[in-house]
Amino acid sequence: MKRLAFITSAILLALLGVFFVVHAQSATIDLSLTASPSNPLPLQQVTISAQSFATDINQANLTWTYNGKTVQSGTGVTQITVTAPASGVTGTIVLRASGGDFDATSATLVLRPASVDLLWEGVKSYTPPFYKGRALPSSGSMIRVTAVPTISAPTHLSYTWSQNGSVVQSQSGYDKSSLLFQDDDLNPTNDIEVTEQNGAFSGTNDININTGNPTVIGYFNHNGYIDYANGSADTLSTTDTGAIIHFEPYFFSTPISAAHDLGFSYTDNDGNNIPSGNIINELLLSRPDGGGQSQFTVAINTLVYSLQNLSRKFSVNFN
């Protein structure tokens, strides 16, 4: 009986040993992958890193595949760099890990490159009808920034807008693809950032907007025809005995219209007012006796945005 008890105990101990060995070999890795940058642009270089908080994967045999093709393998290869796919295309990265003290396991990361363009303009920033450029913002003006996601983006996205590092909660949210804000007179630099996302789709972009100053350009008015091709910000020349100078303001904030929101005045070198006639942004000048040059100052004022007022000297040469 003692011999039978000894044999039974030995068998139990052996079985327990096998149990512990099997238990040790069945341990799994909590494997995770991260990408840097987390929201890559199309064709951007991306670093993929692997980590585990339960096992030292530096001792594991790691095999990386990208869209089914092995890109790197070896012991302790915990990081690789790949090129993100083109816009609208996904890239699948799979890491397989195996070793002596745990079961083989794998982790997957899908790259969905997302790009977002940011377009901005000065709101109600005045430009003449012929002007083909962008309406630039001036100090204190309203500015609109619009996010234009890549063509592969889902139809509806959630947007998070930030200005100078602070989230603009009131203008962030579902389908809020534009940001409207007023330039800070004391801080002419506006750092704007947007993040758009919908499930696995996510894109980020940022821009820096510097406001400028409004300006004025003078053009000759020849019998109702304004020579917009030959304007000047300081000096005009003519062989005529008289001239009508047409002044066009640029980049003033005009909530209603330039004629309603802006005031024009003209003074000579002695500070005397020069009457402008029926059209407030035109000045009639006559050739001085013996020819020569007429000098005067144009002042443009607005009650809406006082920091946008300007004064500029002009000269007209009568040749």
Maximum CA extent, the chain: 143
Confidence at 8, pLDDT banded by 50, 70, 90:
very low
Residue 19: both structure tokens together: 């149990």
Tell me: the pLDDT tens digits for 185-244? 777 789 999 998 887 677 888 999 988 889 999 999 998 899 998 999 999 999 998 899
Q: Is 233 left (phi over 0), alpha (psi -120 to 50) or beta?
A: alpha
Phi, psi at residue 208, to the nearest 5°? -120, 120
CATH of domain 215-318: 2.60.40.10
* The most confident of 93-97, 126-130, 253-257, by mean pLDDT: 93-97
Determine contact, residues 243/280, Cβ cutoff 8 Å. Answer: no
DSSP H or E segment with residue 22? helix 2-25
The residue behind tokens 């951007």 is 44
- Name which of 69-78, 99-108, 233-242 the model is least confident about: 99-108
**According to DSSP H, which parts of 134-288 are helical?**
258-261
Domain 29-111 maps to which CATH number in 1.10.3470.10, 1.20.58.1690, 1.10.357.10, 2.60.40.10?
Answer: 2.60.40.10
Residue 132: both structure tokens together: 């083909």
* Other CB atoms within 10 A of residue 11 CB: 10
Beta partners for residue 220, in sequence order: 245
Domain residue ranges of the chain, discontinuous segments joined by +:
29-111, 116-210, 215-318
CA 159/CA 128 separation, integer angstroms: 34
Is-same-fold flag (29-111; 215-318)?
yes
CA 127/CA 258 separation, integer angstroms: 9
Tell me what the pLDDT averaged over the chain comes to. 85
Fold of 116-210: Immunoglobulin-like (2.60.40)
Is a pLDDT exceeding 80 seen at residue 168?
A: yes
